[in-house]
Each structure stands twice: as C-alpha cells, then as structure tokens.
Amino acid sequence: MSDIDQRRRTLCTQLLGGLAGIALGGPAWARPSVDEAAKVFRLDGAGVTYAFGVNQDGQLQALYWGSALAPEDKLPAPVPVPENSSNEMPVNLTPFEYPGFGGGLTVEPALKVTFPDGVRDLVLRHVDHRVDGERIVIRLKDVSRAVHVTLTYAMDAATGILARSAVVENRTASWIQVDQLAAAAINLPYSDDYRVSYLTGRWAGEFALQTRPIAPGSIVIETRKGVTSHQANPWIAISRGATEEEAGPVWFGALGWSGSWRIHVDMDALGGLRTTAGYNPFDFAYRLKPGEKLASPVFHAGYSGEGFGGASRVFHRYQREKILPGAPTPRLRPVLYNSWEATLFAVDEAGQTALAEKAASIGVERFVMDDGWFGSRSSDKAGLGDWVVNRKKFPNGLQPLIRRVRDLGMEFGLWVEPEMVNPDSDLYRAHPDWVIHFPGRPRSEARTQLVLNLARKDVYEHLLTMLDRLLKEHDIAFLKWDHNRAWSEPGWPEVAPAEQQRLYVAYVDNLYKLLGELRRRHPKVEIESCASGGGRVDLGIMALTEQVWTSDNTDPFDRLLIQDGFTRAYTPAIMMAWVTDAPNFVNRRVTSLEYRFLSAMQGGLGIGANLNHWKDEDFAKARQLVAEYKTIRKTVQQGKLYRLVSPQGGSRRSATLSVAQDGGQAVLFAFLHSSGLREAPPRIQLRGLDPNKTYALRAIAGKAAAQTPKRASGAYWMGHGLAVDMAGDFQAAAFVLEA
Ligand code: DGJ
C-alpha cells in the first residue's frame, strides 16, 4: 500500500468513511445543493447554513456561515473585493475558501509550495466540482502548473457540523515541496466585536479557557511538539461581544490531528476574519514526487446560536455519533481502578491482587495496572521499550493476577507507552538508531526517555508485533496508551535529507495505522489516550481510542476547572476522572472522599486511591457512590451538558446539569469552594427539562434547602430553581431528577 493510500485509509477510518475518497458511512449526512448557474454551493443541516461559490475570476469564495437561511433564499454569486488602496491588494481582502500563496497574497495561505526552479507562486482556480453523495468535492488547480487541490465538504445532518479537508496532488513532471497545508480556511464577515476562545495549559493544568477580543492582526494557537500537547489544544470558538453561555452566536472548530498543528486566526485590514487550520508550517516540508498526493487532517467546524453551551452540546453529539469508536452508540465507560497513584512503579503480584480485591468490593468493573510491570522498570530511568513481564515482580507472569481480576468479575487493563524508550533498555542497546534524532548530535532526554521513530517501517512492525503478542497472550480488555514527552531533534537520518521532514506526517499516520490495525485484530480491546494526562486529546486520536486521561491533576477542586475547559470542546463520554488520596499529590489539598467522588462522577469514573489505607467507612461511602454512579452514568457521559455555574474566573461556586437524551433523567452536581460573608445559597435554575413533565428529586449527596419540594414540574425547576444547602469549604452535592 502506498503512502497516500495509507493516508487516505487513515483519514477514512477517522471520518467514518472519510472525506478523502470513500463514501461517507454512518447515519445522515446532509445533502448539499448546488446552484449551477450562479456556481453557488450550499450545505444545510440542523439549523445551520454554510455557503460558498466561484467568482468570475474562478476563485473559490466564502458566502455565508451561520443560522439556517430559508431554502428559497438565493445567495448572490460571489464577487471579489475591489481594490481598496494600492497597499491592500484585493487578494488579501477577498474571503477565499482555500488561498494559495501567490498572486500577492500576504494574509495566511492554506497551501504554500516550492517548485524546483525556485518559483513559490501558487494561484488556485476552480476547475470543476461534483456532488458525490453527501459530499461536495471541488477541484482547484494552479493557473499554469499542474498542482491540483481537491477540497471536500460534508455536513452532519444532525448537528450542522461541517467536516472539511484538502488533498494536494503533484501532476508536474518533477518534485514539488509542500511548505504549508491546511484543511480549510473559514471566513466570517466584518465585525468589531469578535472574540476568540481557546484552550491552553501545562502538565497538571490542561484545558485552561482563554478568551480575548479579536482585533486586526493574527492570533496563533499551535504546538510544535510533535504531539497534540498540553500547551494548547486544537479547538477554537469565535463568539460576539454579547454571546453568553446559553445565548448568542458561536462558531467553533477542532482539528483531527495528533501531531504538530496550528490554528491561525487572522483579521484583515478591513476587519474580515479568516481561520486557517492544518499542519503546523513550522519546520514543515513535504516533498511530493510526480503523481504523489498529501492529504490534510480534517477540520470539523460548527455553529450554534445558543451560546457556548449550545456549541458544546452539538459538538459532543457529533463526537458521539460520528467520531468515537462505536459511533453512533459508543459504549459507556466502565468504572475503573488504576494503580498509579497508589503504588507508582512498585507493582507486584501480591500488591496488585490486594488492590484488585478491594476495588472489586466497591463495584469497580475494570482493574488497570499502570507503569512498572515490565523489563527493569523500577523508576522512570530504565526499562521503557522492554515489554516483557518483570519476573521479579511477577514470578509467574501476569496470568495469575489477570485470572484473579477476572474471577473477581472485573476486566483487566494494562499501561503501555509504546512510542518511547529509555536509553537504559535492551531495546535501545539493540537499536540506538530507532529513535528520532540527528546523527552526530546530542539526543535530548526528557523523563530519561527518547521518542521512537514510528515513521520507520521496522519500528512500526516491532510495535505491532509486540502489542499484538501482548494482547494475544493475555486476557486484556484495555490498554492505557501513554506518551510522556515532546519531540526534540526531529531528524530521520535513514531517509534522504529532502524526505526527512515527512516525519511530522508519517509518524502520526503510522500511529493511527498501528492503533487501527490493533483494533482490527483485537476488536474487543479498548484504548485510552494518555500523554502525561491530557497531552493527546484531539478528534484524530478520539476516532481510535474510547477514552482519554484528562489530566494527571487529580485534585478534585482543580479538576472542576479542567473539566469545565475540557467540555467546551470534548464530550464527557470520554473524559476520565479518578478519586485519589487526600492530601492530593499535586497541591496537598485535603478534601472529603464524598467531594472527591462527586467531582470525578462528572466524567467517566475511576478510582486511583491507595485502597490499603481506606477505613471501613470509606469503603461504605465508595460502594454507595459507585452504585449511584452506575444509575446516572449514561446521563452524565452521554446526556446534554449544561454548565449552569462555571468555575471559570475564580467563581466560588460551580454547578453542572446533565440531561438524558430521552429527557427522563437529569443529574445536578453543585460545588462550593468556600462560604463567604454568611451568604445564603443561591437558587440554581436548571435547564433543558420538559416544562410540562413532573420530576421527582432525589439527593445522591448533600441536601436541598429546607422546603424544596420532592416533586415539581420542569417549569418549576427551571424557573424557580433549586437551592442547595451548602456551607463551609470544599462542599459538594449531587441530585437526580427523574421524570
Ligand atoms: C503519566 C500518566 O499520565 C500517569 O497517569 C501514569 O500512567 C504515568 N505516566 C506512568 O508513568
């Protein structure tokens, strides 16, 4: 299979039938419409219209993106923006769907290439178009050279979310070098009150929400680290000054790519707004031989008129129904136990068995042994890469532990970090050339480890064989797939210098291929994407992994903020959260077990505490809350999420409500950081209920204020609201409403 076929297949896997060549699968993509006379294209779905067209110069130009237009509304054919001054060429003011670097373009290009003769001018014109089932496929070509670009557009009928991607093809007689390739450029018209929101972070501090006004100039959100990163996540939302949590326009998008990426938001001299999302052009160069192609990742973009809450609800739905493994009905997350915080590297058969027995007693469904079980691994200094069971810790292999876990009624899960190696390992001693490096240059270590070059065929084959054997020889239901460092010295000396920078794409392609192949061979095994916590969370990896490890920060109060940020972009259906020990290892904060549980119950519940230190009453509390969680998890994981009171901005209170898709259940979580000035508890007005249905209220933890009715209409809970009786520090409560 050629590189491009593989790349196509990867994209197809990711997009359920893909935008790059195969019929779209899954339910209900919207049918596009084309006005052939005006050359105007429209996609309409779920209250959203996206329209663009071809102007008289053959340029592809944006027309409209926002709330649905009437079907009979005729969009006028696009016209290029006239010259405004000799200092601002029309090409920089016209809202192109896919600008090439050329013809005087000084705003952000979607595609930039270099030809062997030094020409770096690329002017793309419409060649033809077709409606291919549910996709619009547009072909563009440079005005004189045989560089072809195929753009694909598909809109999800249920959410109005548009998936866009591009493929560049070299049909010239010699090589061309792709210096920059985006999935899409998306335009919004002039306004002086746009704001952009995005997620930044660091280890143990992921998904921090940033919001700032957009003024003329550029805002760049990116990573150059080879992996999605903690530092920024490939999601943005653009809102207007008056947009609120539950009202006002929000345009949003996320890139399905787990390598170096960039989202560039650019307001031009006249106030037009363009967002370009794709591979990070930093250090990027992808040489195409004659006949070769390169596909972009997919950019998934949506619109909601119902504020940030509405935007995240439609995006969550899209992820559940179109992206996640098992879509449109992904499996619910089992309650898991993970050994990491309890034992760190000191895992052994007796210790893990004791933890497993205690975990089973509180209702855990999946027992996961973390780092330390293999090679000479007793710290992060050695053993990574040697995926053989450590016989000192497990004299009889893993089988006795796995059997015991299975007998206790739980699934068994195992930690791996396949893409990495410690220099102090048999693998590295045998294959020092297998890591990403520049020959003769120092190899920078982080956590005493180096990154294996997964773009290499032999590394790929080795990892596939090793993981396949591990899964064949053991009854493993789940892999926690970790990735604990950023890239450095991104060299690939085995290929020609001009080919080396293909690494940025080829590595991630092979990662997707490896995950895809393992899933094909072991369809019952589930995978968690972890990268020192939430360093690899994006729509690319999400298509191949059932859940993500949100953050190594397990402090339940910090987690409220992290989870609030996370759910702006991604569904709680994949967001894992553990109950760990107090004081928490991150910040020494002490909170009650109940508080820790309620914070973690907002996502996929896990327990990571050292159960050997628990008292009888802790087990009793955990048993009760795990049992409660199982009655609400479908609503929490896959329901409609309302961030009723956000912890953003230092709020001392926060509250979320999850409403089941069928409306039959709603779950309210409320948290108080600290009481102040003897204030009375404010009433929390619920959302998303049926005003005409009666809902019975039941407390999972904490209590409602005196005189709160036991039953009332949806209208009452939404209009009058519910006051929670909470006072003190780090208080939490949770309620269920059943219709
Ligand atoms: C980083 C992960 O985020 C942790 O949960 C744990 O698995 C460690 N790696 C193990 O080394």
Summarised one tens digit per residue, pLDDT across range 11-49 is: 444 443 334 333 455 558 988 999 999 999 999 999 999
CB of 602 within 6 A of ligand 1: the answer is no
Nearest-5° Cα angle at 14, 10 to 16: 115
State in Å: Cα 401 to ligand 1 middle.
21
Q: Classify each residue of 107-144 as buried b or exposed e, where b means 16 or more C-beta atoms within 10 Å of its C-beta.
A: bbbbbbbbbeeeeebbbbebeebeeeebbbbbbbbbee
For ligand 1, the distance from its centroid to the CA atom of residue 340, given in whole angstroms, is 7
Quote the DSSP letter at residue 531: B
Task: Judge if the beta carbon of residue 482 lies within 6 A of ligand 1.
Answer: yes
Backbone angles phi, psi at 81, to 5 degrees: -70, 130
How many residues are listed for the chain in this entry? 739
Distance 617 CA to ligand 1 centre (A): 29
H, E, C per residue of 378-445: CCCCCCCCCCCECCCCCCCCCHHHHHHHHHCCCEEEEEECCCEECCCCHHHHHCHHHECCCCCCCCCC
Atom of ligand 1 nearest to the CA of 532: 3
Chain centroid offset of residue 419 CA: 20
Name the one residue in this structure whose structure tokens are 């769907």: 97
- Give the nearest ligand 1 atom to 530 CA: 3
pLDDT at 26: 54
Query: Contact 10/509 with Cβ under 8 angstroms?
Result: yes
pLDDT over 70 (residue 134): yes
The 10s digit of each residue's pLDDT in 531-548 is 999 999 999 999 999 999
How confident is the model at residue 575, as a pLDDT?
Answer: 98
pLDDT of residue 14: 45
Q: Is the CB of 233 under 6 A from ligand 1?
A: no
What was the pLDDT predicted at 456? 98
Instruction: Report the alpha-carbon distance of residue 461 to residue 518 in Å, rounded.
Output: 12
If one residue of 527, 532, 554, 576 were mutated to test the ligand 1 pocket, choosing by the most ligand atoms within 8 A of its CB, it would be 532
Q: Which residues have a Cβ under 8 Å from the Cβ of 19 and sit 6 or more positions away?
A: 11, 135, 152, 154, 163, 164, 165, 298
Model confidence over 666-687: pLDDT tens digits? 999 999 999 988 888 899 999 9
Residue of 352, 349, 398 whose CA lies nearest to 612: 352
Tens digit of pLDDT for each residue in 386-438? 999 999 999 999 999 999 999 999 999 999 999 999 999 999 999 999 999 99
The answer on pLDDT for 7 being more than 80 is no
CA distance 164 to 9: 16
Which residue of 482, 537, 584 sits with most ligand 1 atoms within 8 Å of its CB, as the best mutation to test the pocket? Answer: 482
370 CA closest ligand 1 atom index = 7
Q: How far apart are CA 384 and CA 475, in angstroms?
A: 22
Q: Which stretches of 285-362 are assigned E, i.e. beta strand?
A: 286-288, 293-295, 298-304, 336-338
User: Up-side HSE of residue 358: CA atoms within 13 Å toward CB?
Assistant: 24
Nearest CA to ligand 1 atom 2: 532
480 CA → ligand 1 middle, Å: 9
Ligand 1 atom 10: residue of nearest CA: 371
**Rounded CA gap, 325 and 491, in Å?**
33
Residue 263 contacts residue 236 (beta carbons within 8 Å): yes
- 532 CB within 6 A, ligand 1: yes
Pocket perturbation via mutation, ligand 1, pick of 552, 559, 585 by most ligand atoms within 8 A of CB: 552
The most distant pair of C-alpha atoms in the chain lies apart, rounded to whole Å, by: 81
Over the chain, what is the mean pLDDT?
95
Q: Is 41 in the pocket of ligand 1 (CB under 6 A)?
A: no
> b/e per residue, 63-100, with b = 16+ CB within 10 A?
bbbbeeeeeeeebebbebbeeeeeeebebbbbbbbbbb
Alpha-carbon distances, residue 210 vs 192, 479, 647 (angstroms):
19, 33, 13
Q: Is the pTM of this model over 0.85?
A: yes
> Residue with the nearest Cα to atom 6 of ligand 1?
340
| Residue 466, both tokens | 């090793």
**Ligand 1: which of 370, 547, 580 to mutate, judged by most atoms within 8 Å of the beta carbon?**
370
Edge-to-edge strand ranges of the sheet holding 703-704: 683-684, 722-725, 703-704
**371 Cβ inside 6 Å of ligand 1:** yes
Give 316's contacts (C-beta < 8 A, 6+ positions apart): 567, 570, 571, 572, 573, 640, 641
Tens of pLDDT along 196-230? 999 999 999 999 999 999 999 999 999 999 999 99
Residue 519 Ramachandran class (φ > 0 left, ψ -120 to 50 alpha, else beta): alpha
* Percent share of the chain, pLDDT over 70: 96
| 288-335 tens-digit pLDDT | 999 999 999 999 999 999 999 999 999 999 999 999 999 999 999 999
pLDDT for 8 beyond 70: no
The amino acid at 735: F
The pair of three-digit structure tokens given for residue 517, joined into one six-digit string = 């192949």
State the burial class of residue 707 (Cβ atoms within 10 Å of its Cβ: 0-12, 13-18, 19+).
exposed
**Residue 2, pLDDT above cutoff 50:** no
5 is catalytic: no
Residue 578 beta carbon below 6 angstroms from any ligand 1 atom: no
Give the Cα separation of 479 and 492 in Å (integer): 28
Look at residue 737 in the predicted model and tell me its pLDDT. 98
Supply the pLDDT for residue 271.
87
526 lines ligand 1 (CB under 6 A): no
How much is the pLDDT for 27? 52
The CA distance from 359 to 411, in Å, is 12
Q: Supply angle C-alpha 345, 227, 438, rounded to 5.
A: 90
Label each residue of 77-139 as H, E or C: CCCCCCCCECCECHHHCCCECCCECCCCCCCCCCEEEECCCCCCCCCEEEEEEEEECCEEEEE
Residue 424 known to be catalytic: no
Question: Do 637 and 332 contact (CB within 8 A), yes or no?
Answer: yes
End-to-end CA distance of the chain: give it in Å, rounded: 54
